[in-house]
């Protein structure tokens, strides 16, 4: 029963993430550093929805990693 619940949650999250990409197709560039000798470091143009999804997944990964490290530190 728990597996079925997890499957539905993952399916809904993927559906919402796909909807974000579909609703926000505008290409955006993210400048990572200020100008240095007229050189900018930036990511290639990505759809805004995909950028939002990637940042969301990175946040989940960082939160999961920190939670596990603090759990290991308590033992």
For residues 39-55, give the mean pLDDT: 90
Q: pLDDT class for 47, splitting at 50, 70, 90?
A: very high
Interatomic CA distance for residues 58 and 63, integer angstroms: 8
**What's the whole-model pTM score?**
0.73
Element counts in the chain: helices (H) and strands (E):
2, 2
Confidence at residue 14, expressed as pLDDT on a 0 to 100 scale: 93
- 41: helix, strand or coil: coil
Number of domains in the chain: 1
Confidence at residue 23, expressed as pLDDT on a 0 to 100 scale: 94
Note down the domain range covering 64. Answer: 2-74
For residues 48-69, give the mean pLDDT: 94
Q: pLDDT class for 34, splitting at 50, 70, 90?
A: confident
């Amino acid at each position: 029963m728990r597996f079925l619940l997890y499957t539905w949650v993952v399916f809904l999250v993927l559906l919402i993430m796909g909807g974000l990409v579909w609703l926000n197709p505008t290409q955006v560039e993210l400048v990572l550093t200020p100008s240095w000798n007229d050189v900018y470091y930036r990511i290639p143009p990505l759809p805004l929805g995909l950028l939002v999804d990637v940042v969301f997944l990175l946040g989940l990964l960082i939160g999961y990693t920190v939670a596990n490290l603090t759990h290991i530190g308590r033992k």
